Amino acid sequence: MSPLLRVRDLSVTFPITRPGDMPWTAPRELRAVNGVSFDLEAGQTLGVVGESGCGKSTMARGLIQMVPAKGQVMWRGETDLLALSPRQMKPHRADIQMVFQDPLASLNPRMTVGQIIAEPLKTHRGNLSAGERRTRVAAMMERVGLLPQMINRYPHEFSGGQCQRIGIARALIVEPKLLICDEPVSALDVSIQAQVVDLLKELQRDLNLAMIFIAHDLSVVKNISHDVMVLYLGRVMEKAPRRALYADPQHPYTQALLSAVPVPDPVIERQKRIIQLDGDMPSPMKPPSGCVFRTRCARAQPDCAEVVPQPEGGDHRVACLHPGPVREDELA
């Protein structure tokens, strides 16, 4: 049986011109996503993690043609979404919805909550009457923890957590099969983050939703994901089931990210040793040859500059020429 979503060799490239370039000067290429592949089953969550600028959000937008992308994105084993025209893509947009990072900025300040949540119904369920739309909106508001009496209020009258619940209600009102959450809790307080994550997990169980959950916080990803994929400079460094990745990370980049996750126990936190990464992430305009992580990797060998490692293995795939457990000389 085919997975709900099968992605193969997804790439997103942007042409870049500099001030002063002549009209005949060929633009340079910024490859934001480079050869990402994964499968996603119905009812499962894929967590996507990595530093800012690694291509997480661009990958999500490329999947649904919000930015131009190449590769293959097979939906239900039948349709390549990247091969569709905008008109052909429109029916599929009801099945794939997004929740965005900034809850307030993603809502139209001139529309009431009821109008915001009902807007996808007008686009994708045009046969519904105004009364039917209002009934569905009120039911969805209750489902995400909002009082139906708030239906005529405006976004600025709500807290950040409530605004994110409005965004979730808007995404789920058309009963999608896949929900893409682009850092949905990064702008919220820790206590509110937990509430939103618990809400998403509950909705996933009730609706059999598949989710792609993008985040910086690896503790949040651990709490909600079934599989986790680590990106660096547009490439997959490691992908594994959640428990395997957190218990036995094999890529030095994954190990560095996990070592930086705060521990609630102050005694353990003070004694914890972390992996220090040298310098900043290179520019995607001039990525390193071979392994893109080698310029910051303590295990880099001469062959790392020559060979581009590909994610290899079964359920636990690692794109590294020298994988393995953390070494003593890597710890600070």
Q: Where are the domains of the chain?
A: 5-89+224-240+251-330
- Sheet of strand 79-80, all strands in order from the earlier edge strand to the far edge: 28-40, 5-16, 70-75, 79-80
- Residue 121, CA atoms < 13 Å, CB-side half-sphere: 21
pLDDT at residue 25 is higher than 80:
no
Locate 90 and state its tokens: 């429109």
Work out the burial of residue 309: count CB atoms within 10 Å of its CB; fewer than 13 is exposed, 13-18 middle, 19 or more buried.
buried
CATH of domain 5-89+224-240+251-330: 3.40.50.300
Give the largest Cα separation in the chain, rounded.
Answer: 68
Tell me the pLDDT tens digit for each residue of 172-207. Answer: 999 999 999 999 988 788 888 888 999 999 999 999
Lowest-pLDDT range, 61-75, 115-129, 186-200, 238-252?
A: 186-200
**Closest by Cα among 57, 8, 10, 12 to 30:** 12
Tell me the pLDDT tens digit for each residue of 291-328. Answer: 999 999 989 999 999 999 999 888 999 999 999 888 77
